[in-house]
Structure 1
Amino acid sequence: MRVLFVGHGPAHIPWIIPLAWAARLAGHEVRVAVRPQCVAPVTRAGLVAVPVGDENAAGAVAARQLPLGPGRLQAAGAATGALDADVAEALVEKMIAVADTLTDDLVGFARFWRPDVIVHDTAAAAGPVAAAALKVPAVGHTWGVSLGVHCESEAELRPSYARLFERFGLDPVVGPSVWIDPCPPGLRPPHGVRRADMRYVPFAGPAALPAWLRTGRDADRPLVCVTGGVTTKALDEVRDHVVASLRELGADVVLAVTAAQAENLPQLPDGVRAVESFPLDVLLAHCDALVHHGGVGSGLIAVTHGLPQLLLPQNAFQEHWAHLVRASGAGTALPADAAEGAVGAAVQDLLARPSYRRRSRELREEIDAMPTPDRLVGFLEECARAGHTDVPTPAEAGRR
């Protein structure tokens, strides 16, 4: 079987790597179609990348500013599980606009390589277009949240979505979709698309374990990781006061930064160190809590280690994820401009109150109970044989 994966931006690539490798290890041919800026993360994972689209054109669209400004973090009792409708609408239209710069190359490659099934990031709207051109099943793959491009009925058909198909003489894909979803049920808001559960397996590339992570540490001093993610500068402006607050608590601090962020770090005080482009999954295995910007990947990696987390979201999407984490009981959230005292008090509460860690571990148990990626390869095989996605998912098959 030939499986074509279609990725989105750099922060989304780690989500599809485990399933892509599971398909490869099952003996299937795998290609990963991505924008040029995402080729390196794919090849570093040992997979074959197919560059599609012009990066300048795609980047110009992706850089468009959206109504994602901060300030919407609601009180715990007032927030809802749904992303603001205006934000969701703007994000989906942006996804479609980016896809419009990629479909020519993607459809051309798909017609040449002839995959049996296409697995696309739910933000990569070009994937269903290529699947329609070949008349093969298209399976979505979420990036931890229930957001993406889909059309479940004629009433939901967007003109912009329809135009992606029309220029190839294709009818737009309308009808029941299925999305592979690695988000545990306890962090998953309701959504109309059918899910195929898959265990979340963090992937952040290779690393060599440094000496300080190969020995024990002072058990009386908690180790707290602070990160703004791998593709943002989300916490750069507040990093220093966050670190100062943690040091006042008597905690040791490790900053997880990118190479670009590392160049701008000040002289670090005693008890604070930085790791550059280091897998967060490996690092958090040694930590007691995580302070981050509200990234879905960062948050779920903390859950896989049963860690409590403090989120400091700076836009509406990060605030949406912050609410889901806070509502689950696995962490808490503050506005990104919260005072130093508030940050310190919040982390002290995270470390002192057992319920945060207990709830995070319960979410980890939900993840552990989900089907592993190799079982989802069987689902893809069934979809390819049937020529559609209306076949039982591993979880559904287990209930029958």
Structure 2
Amino acid sequence: MRVLFVGHGPAHIPWIIPLAWATRLAGHEVRVAVRPQCVTPVTRAGLVAVPVGDEAAVGAVAARRLPLWPGRLRSADQAAGALEADLADTLVEKMIAVADTLTDDLVDFARFWRPDIVVHDTAAAAGLVAAAAIKVPAVGHTFGVSLGVHCENEADLRPSYARLFERFGIDPVVGPSVWIDPCPPGLRTPHAVRRADMRYVPFSGPAALPPWLRTGRDSDRPLVCITGGITTTALDEIRDHVVASLRELGADVVLALTTAQAENLPALPKGVRVVEFFPLDVLLAHCDALVHHGGVSSGMIAVTHGLPQLLLPQNAFQEHWAHLVCASGAGTALPAKAAEDAVGTAMRDLLARPSYQQRARSLRAEIDATPTPDRLVGFLEQCASAGHTNVHTPAEAEGR
């Protein structure tokens, strides 16, 4: 079987790596189509990348600024603070505009390589077009949140979505979709699309363990990781006072940064370490808590280690994830412009109250109970053989 994976932006690539590798290890041929900017993360994972689109054109669309300022959520009792409808709609339209810059190359490659099935990031609508062009099933793959491009019925058909298909002389994909979803139920918002549950397996790149991670801790002080993610500068402006607040609590701190972020650091106090481009899933195995910007990947990796989280979201999308974590009981959040002393107070509570870690461990148990990626390969095989996605997912098969 030939399987074409279609990725989205850099922060999304790690989400599709585990299933892509599980498919490859099952003996199938795998290609991962991505914009040029994302080729290196794919090849660094040992997979074959197919560059599609012109990076200048893709980047110009992807860089369009959206009204993502804080406070663009509905109240927390509505799907744990869902994005306002107009903002979600704007995000989907941007995804469609990005897809429009990629579909020519992607459809050309699909017609040449003839995959048996397409697995696309739910933000990568170009995958739907490529699958329709060669008449094979398309399966979505979420990036931790219930957002993406789909059309469940004729009433939902967007003109911009239809145009993606029409220029290739094909009908737009309309009808029930299925999304492979690694997000545990306790952090998942309601959504119309049918889900195929899959265990979340973190992937954040290779590493060589430094000496301090090859031995036991040299103190009984809590070790707290701070990160703003690898694709944002979300915490750059407030990082120093966050570090100072944690040190005042007596916690040791490790900063997970990009090389560019590390170059601009001031002198660090004793008890603070820095790691550059180090896999967060490896690092958090040694930590007691995570402070971060509200990135979905950062937060999910913390969940896999049963760690409580302090979130400092800087935009509405990050606030959305923060609301989900807070609603689950696995963490707490502060507004973007919280007073400096609020960080120390929140972290003291996070480390002292057992319920945060208990809820984080409960979410980890939900992850552990879901089907592993290799079992989803069988689902893809069945979809490819049937020519559609209306087959039982592993979880559905177990429930029969």
TM-score normalised by structure 2 residue count = 0.98
Deviation at 1:259, TM superposition (A): 1.4
Q: Cα deviations across residues 329-352 of structure 1 (Å, max 9, x unaligned)?
A: 000000122111101110110100
CA distance in 1, matches of 2:72, 2:274: 31
Provide the rounded CA distance (Å) in 2 between the counterparts of 1:389 and 1:49: 25
Letter in 2 for 1:395: A
Partner of 1:21: 21
Deviation at 1:264, TM superposition (A): 1.3
For residues 175-190 of structure 1, the aligned pairs below 5 Å read 175-190=175-190
1:184 CA drift (Å)? 0.1
Q: Does 1:224 align with 2:224?
A: yes
Report the AA paired with residue 152 of structure 2. Answer: E
Specify the alignment match of 2:320 in structure 1.
Answer: 320
Structure-2 change in CA distance of 1:177 and 1:315 (3 Å): same
Structure-2 residue corresponding to 1:83: 83
Question: Which residue in 2 is equivalent to 1:366?
Answer: 366
Whole-angstrom CA distance in 2 between matches of 1:371 and 1:395: 7
Partner of 2:93: 93
SS of the residue aligned with 2:93? helix
Structure 1 residue 77 displacement after superposition: 6.2
Correspondence 1:306-345 to 2 at 5 A: 306-345=306-345
Q: How big is the shift at 1:79? A: 7.8
Deviations 1:317-365 (A, max 9, x none): 1001100000000000001221111011101101000000000000000
1:220-299, aligned counterparts within 5 Å?
Answer: 220-299=220-299
Deviation at 1:81, TM superposition (A): 4.0
Deviations along 1:65-103, whole A, 9 cap, x unmatched? 101012457886688342221211111000000000000
The alignment partner of 1:119 has SS state of: strand
How far 1:7 sits from its partner (Å)?
0.1
Q: Deviations over 1:152-175 (max 9, x none)?
A: 000000000000000000100000
Separation (CA, whole Å) in 2 of partners of 1:396 and 1:141: 17
Gaps of 5+ in 1: none
Which moves more between the two structures, 86-95 or 37-46?
A: 86-95
What does 1:110-125 correspond to in 2, within 5 Å?
Answer: 110-125=110-125
- Residue of structure 1 in register with 2:143 after alignment: 143
* 8 Å contact kept, 2:80–2:189: no
- Code of the residue aligned with 1:142 in structure 2: it is T
1:113 Cα offset (Å) = 0.2
**Pair 330,20 (structure 1): closer, same or farther in 2 beyond 3 Å:** same
Which segments of 5 or more consecutive residues in structure 2 lack a partner in the other structure?
none
Measured after TM superposition, the shift of residue 140 of structure 1 is 0.1
CA distance in 1, matches of 2:301, 2:226: 13
Check conservation: 1:81, 1:189, Cα contact below 8 A.
Answer: no
TM-score normalised by L of structure 1? 0.98
Asked whether the equivalents of residues 238 and 336 of structure 1 are also in contact (C-alpha less than 8 Å), the reply is no
Alignment CA distance shift 1:48-1:76 (3 Å) = same
Residue 19 of structure 1 contacts residue 374 of structure 1 at CA under 8 Å; is this kept in 2? yes
Number of corresponding residues: 400
Paired residues of 2:291 and 2:311 also in contact (CA < 8 A):
yes
**Can you list the C-alpha shifts for 1:231-274, whole angstroms capped at 9, x where unaligned?**
00000000000000000000000000011211111111111111
Q: Which residue of 1 aligns with 2:166?
A: 166
Contact kept in structure 2, 1:73 and 1:335, CA below 8 Å: no
Deviations 1:190-235 (A, max 9, x none): 0000000000000011000001111111453100000000100000
| Partners of 2:26 and 2:127 in 1: CA distance | 22
Q: Which amino acid aligns with 2:257?
A: V
Which residue is 1:50 aligned to?
50
Decide whether aligned partners of structure 1 residues 171 and 351 sit closer, same or farther in structure 2, where only a CA change above 3 A counts: same
In 2 relative to 1, CA 284–230 (structure 1 residues): closer, same or farther, beyond 3 Å? same
In 1, Cα distance between the equivalents of 2:147 and 2:42? 23
Structure 2 letter corresponding to 1:160: S
Task: Map 1:376-391 onto structure 2 (within 5 A).
Answer: 376-391=376-391
**Secondary structure of the structure 1 residue equivalent to 2:107:** helix
- For 1:126 and 1:202, locate their aligned partners in 2 and report how far apart those are by CA, in whole Å: 25
Read off the aligned partner of 2:154 and give its amino acid letter.
Answer: E
Q: Contact 1:87–1:316 (CA<8 Å) still a contact in 2?
A: no
1:341-352 equivalences in 2 (<5 Å)? 341-352=341-352
CA RMSD of aligned residues (A): 1.2
% identity of equivalent residues: 85
Corresponding residue SS for 2:109: helix
Cα contact 2:226–2:255 (8 A) shared by 1: yes
Q: Flag the 1:96–1:75 CA change in 2: closer, same or farther, 3 A.
A: closer
